[in-house]
Amino acid sequence: MHRIQQITSHLTSSKNSGHSKVGVKSPEDVVIVAAVRTPQTKSRRGGFKDTLPEELLAAVLKGVLERTNIDPKLIEDIAVGNVLPAGGGATVARAAALYAGIPHTTSLNTVNRQCSSGLQAVVQIAHEIALDQIEIGIGAGVESMTFGYGPNAMPTETSEKIFANQESSDCLLPMGVTSDNVAKEFGVTREKQDAFSAESHRRAAEAQEAGFFDEEIIPVKTQWKDPKTDEEKEIVVDKDDGIRKGTTAKVLSKLKPAFAKDGLTTAGTSSQVSDGAAAVLLMKRKTAEKLKLPILGKFVQAAVVGVPARIMGIGPAFAIPKVLEQAGIGINDVDIFEINEAFASQAIYSIEKLGLDLGKVNPLGGAIAIGHPLGATGARQISTLLYELRRTKQHVGVTSMCIGTGMGMAAVFEAEW
């Protein structure tokens, strides 16, 4: 932990090292011209409980096309983050793109870096554009935890030889156990976790009531079966349905530990198991200007780090300093941090270790309230970040998340309006 204290100390100063990549415009910049998402709904109970992941993905791909009126033939490549589907979701993702009206000449791949998969997909496309491999592409993410989450998502057979190694064995730890490990090892109390989680719901509820999510959300028409009557009907899902207005720390304090009798993590201090999708359309600034498309923001930098699997939640505390150093800025230069709330324990640890202003972190709430469809979150956080930066007339944002098996990822974006 001494290493991160050293890194943090020299990152807090403004424009601390090297040449900053923020605040400068170039025709070669990789920019975002559309960022959309579906609502995020409760797994097995919410609005998308009967909606397959390819249908969610098709909805956001169509949403990108409709938002921009771009000729689908101009899109050269698509990367889709997902975690749970069989075969890496590659077949159904390709089918979804074709159904959405994107021609077969557009290539597609899926990517799985667990909870950062959606961000990794966007970064892949950004790098392809920066290297002139393609001119226009989409980075997306999707997950139906209704259809994919559970025991079948874990390997059924593993090598005794490989997993006799302790760090290898730690890769199989349930995520909730790693949350308890973080809480116990770094002194993140139950009281802190309950308060943080209640605040996530409060912020998200206020944002939803104020309509702050409306611009990024694509309403989705879908089939839904009433669990009480078995009647199937068509509904329109247009709001996140896991946000609980009125949630308090006192209410959350009554919940029992979810993963161990003496644990500090509960269902209320964990991210919601959710269904959803998100998509981001990227190209160079000169291309956007030629096509007369509005620019939401600029991709600046991304970084990935490794951390111990048994405390995987600390990933953002290492990834954020690394990406800021690469971007040539300090913590105080960042206006908003979108840090995935996989668990309250790890989010609190990262915030406190980096000395972040809590008012700048997840101002509209996070995954504890909004939900965490594994493959979609990384792309969802980009849309939430950019629209909130634009709404509040701020510029620099960082998105970050911990990653199962022990990693962290972070990226810097600069909003424009």
User: What residues act catalytically?
Assistant: 115, 372, 402
In angstroms, rounded to a whole number, what is the distance separating the alpha carbons of residues 378 and 359? Answer: 21
Residue 253, Cβ neighbours under 10 Å: how many? 15
Phi, psi for 355 (deg, rounded to 5) = 65, 35
Residue with tokens 């899902």: 237
- The candidate with the shortest Cα–Cα distance to 404, out of 89, 113, 88, 166, is 113
DSSP-derived letter for residue 88 is: G
Residue with tokens 């709904």: 41
Q: Which helix (H) or strand (E) holds 111?
A: strand 107-111
In angstroms, rounded to a whole number, what is the distance separating the alpha carbons of residues 371 and 299? Answer: 24
CB 125 within 8 A of CB 139: yes
Residue 299 contacts by C-beta under 8 Å, 6 or more apart in sequence?
A: 29, 30, 31, 32, 122, 123, 126, 282, 411, 413
Q: Report how far apart, in Å, the C-alpha atoms of 231 and of each of 41, 226, 227 are.
A: 20, 5, 8
- Strand 136-144 and strand 77-81: the pairing is parallel
Residue type, position 175, single letter: M
* Token output for 166: 């302790």
In angstroms, rounded to a whole number, what is the distance separating the alpha carbons of residues 247 and 194? Answer: 10
**Partners of 35 in the β-ladder:** 280
Residue 216, Cβ neighbours under 10 Å: how many? 22
Q: Report how far apart, in Å, the C-alpha atoms of 356 and of each of 28, 30, 207, 245, 360 are.
A: 32, 28, 21, 26, 8
DSSP-derived letter for residue 271 is: P
CB 319 within 8 A of CB 302: no
